[in-house]
């Protein structure tokens, strides 16, 4: 992929692509994606970085194929018991709260996230400056408010509150628009070896864990920006 120049003090600085794979029902992604956003914002020249939200479904099964019950019933199938799932969420909740994020896993309502990802692609096509805001809204809605991530009415309302046209959002959800884009993101993840989230891939060459400490992530981006200026 060819890089393009960024207007700053010098035309030699190139854009650094940051492809961020995450899923809204991923608790680590809840705080990890915010760390990426903040790390970029804290850079002396944040415009050097081009952040793209990529789709990743931890569980692509439709509602009828998913286990019934609350989040801890769901996690019991992976952690061995409700108690183990609750303990895992408490650990993640402590990390989120240390980052200043509210976290109420008891309210979470598991569901398929493909439609939420499709709306992220809609935002990317029509209102890219709002894409991050909409993604953060979906995370907050799921992990703090207990809103159903697979419900079309809830998704339209969330999208509208962040500036998307609600009628356009409902039109997308009523069909399969942007489903191919979601699928392509996940196929790209497989080709690039992205097996878990949250993951940031830099210039389609190497990966950074978005869950690393904020200081480490910011330092990595600062180093990348310096290398881009010198390139």
Q: What is the pLDDT of residues 40-81, one digit of tens each?
A: 999 999 999 999 999 999 999 988 888 889 999 999 988 899
Q: pLDDT at position 12, please?
A: 61
Segment of 30-34, 79-83, 207-211 carrying the highest mean pLDDT: 30-34
pLDDT at 104 over 60: yes
Q: Calculate mean pLDDT across residues 127-151.
A: 96
pLDDT digits (tens, 9 = 90+) for 154-210: 999 999 999 999 999 999 999 999 999 999 999 999 999 999 999 999 999 889 888
pLDDT at 1: 38
> What average pLDDT does this structure show over 118-137?
95
159 Rama sector, left if φ>0, alpha if ψ -120 to 50, beta otherwise: alpha
Among the residues of the chain, which ranges form H helices? 27-41, 71-79, 82-98, 114-126, 131-140, 152-161, 166-174, 179-191, 214-230
User: Above 70 in pLDDT, residue 124?
Assistant: yes
Residue 210 pLDDT? 87
Q: Is the pLDDT of residue 9 over 60?
A: no
Residues whose CB falls within 8 Å of the CB of residue 2, separated by 6 or more in sequence, listed in order: none
Length of the chain: 231
- Rg (the chain; Cα; Å): 18
The pLDDT-based confidence of 96 (bands split at 50, 70, 90) is very high
Nearest to 140 by CA among 29, 55, 20: 29
Quote the pTM value: 0.91
103 token code pair: 């976290």
């Amino acid at each position: 992929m060819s890089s393009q120049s960024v207007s700053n003090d010098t035309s030699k600085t190139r854009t650094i692509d940051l492809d961020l794979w995450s899923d809204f029902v991923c608790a680590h992604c809840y705080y990890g994606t915010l760390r990426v956003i903040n790390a970029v914002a804290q850079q002396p020249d944040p415009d050097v970085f081009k952040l793209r939200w990529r789709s990743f479904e931890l569980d692509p099964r439709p509602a009828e194929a998913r286990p019934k019950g609350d989040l801890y019933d769901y996690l019991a199938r992976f952690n061995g018991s409700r108690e183990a799932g609750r303990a895992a969420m408490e650990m993640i909740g402590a990390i989120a709260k240390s980052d200043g994020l509210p976290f109420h896993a008891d309210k979470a309502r598991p569901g398929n996230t493909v439609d939420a990802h499709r709306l992220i692609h809609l935002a990317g096509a029509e209102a890219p400056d709002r894409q991050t805001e909409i993604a953060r809204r979906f995370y907050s809605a799921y992990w703090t408010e207990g809103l159903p991530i697979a419900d079309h009415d809830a998704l339209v309302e969330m999208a509208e509150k962040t500036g998307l046209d609600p009628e356009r959002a409902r039109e997308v959800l009523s069909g399969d628009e942007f489903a191919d884009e979601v699928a392509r993101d996940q196929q790209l993840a497989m080709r690039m070896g992205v097996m878990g989230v949250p993951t940031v891939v830099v210039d389609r060459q190497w990966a950074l864990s978005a869950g690393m400490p904020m200081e480490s992530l910011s330092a990595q981006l600062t180093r990348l920006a310096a290398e881009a200026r010198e390139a």
